[in-house]
């Protein structure tokens, strides 16, 4: 799924909402007719677009208005991980977030992974909830809700990253190597 969605990137390393939606529709087989026309039922089409918008807002972990490849990978991890190949999943994640290629993750690099993973978990949760009611119970619009959710994920990611470093950084280097990460 990652490679399919990544193929919709126009070359800037990020998916705009339009690129993301087109990729999600392709992955889900929602492209309608051969011409890529919308579904014949406007209610179904609107529902699909709401789901794509919700996933985009959730995967856009930093709230920047696009989904970069790290956000995409982190968001897809809880959705698409193969429970039978944990080693490959760990190696892929580690290599993706090791920005400088040092073979170690800094707290900032790990925090970005945690934020993206929390976004993926949020996407699973939102799919399981009843999306029939578009109005928010507390009177806030969807953009305010998304901004608050992003801020909460970031704060939670900071706390989780600190806790992980205390438990996993066994050599006390302030960095996590692959052996520490994969345990």
| pLDDT the model gives residue 55 | 80
Q: Please report, for the chain, how many H helices and E strands are present, in that order.
A: 8, 4
CB-based contact 182:90 (threshold 8 Å): yes
Q: Which residue has better confidence, 2 or 41?
A: 2
| pLDDT the model gives residue 8 | 93
Rounded Cα gap, residues 183 and 16, in angstroms: 35
Residue 56 pLDDT exceeds 80: yes
Global pTM?
0.54
123 closest CA partner among 181, 64, 75: 75
* Helix (H), strand (E) at residue 171: none
- Average pLDDT of the chain to the nearest whole number: 78
Write the pLDDT tens digit of every residue in 83-125: 677 787 787 778 777 878 899 999 988 887 787 777 666 666 6
| pLDDT the model gives residue 34 | 45
| pLDDT the model gives residue 132 | 44
| pLDDT the model gives residue 33 | 44
Q: What is the mean pLDDT of residues 41-56?
A: 74
Pairing of strands 67-68, 104-105: unpaired
Q: Which residue has better confidence, 22 or 154?
A: 22
| pLDDT the model gives residue 110 | 85
| pLDDT the model gives residue 17 | 93
Q: What is the mean pLDDT of residues 144-153?
A: 76
Q: What is the mean pLDDT of residues 124-143?
A: 56
């Amino acid at each position: 799924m990652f490679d399919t969605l990544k193929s919709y990137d126009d070359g800037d390393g990020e998916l705009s909402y339009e690129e993301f939606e087109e990729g999600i529709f392709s992955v889900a087989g929602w492209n309608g007719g051969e011409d890529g026309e919308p579904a014949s039922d406007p209610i179904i089409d609107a529902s699909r677009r709401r789901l794509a918008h919700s996933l985009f807002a959730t995967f856009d972990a930093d709230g920047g208005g696009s989904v970069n490849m790290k956000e995409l990978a982190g968001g897809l991890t809880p959705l698409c991980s193969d429970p039978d190949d944990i080693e490959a999943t760990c190696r892929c994640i580690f290599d993706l977030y090791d920005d400088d290629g040092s073979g170690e993750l800094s707290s900032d690099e790990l925090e970005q992974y945690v934020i993206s993973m929390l976004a993926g978990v949020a996407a699973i949760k939102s799919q399981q909830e009843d999306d029939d009611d578009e109005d928010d119970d507390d009177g806030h619009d969807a953009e305010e809700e998304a901004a608050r959710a992003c801020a909460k994920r970031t704060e939670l990611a900071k706390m989780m990253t600190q806790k992980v470093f205390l438990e996993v950084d066994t050599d006390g280097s302030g960095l996590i190597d692959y052996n520490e990460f994969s345990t």
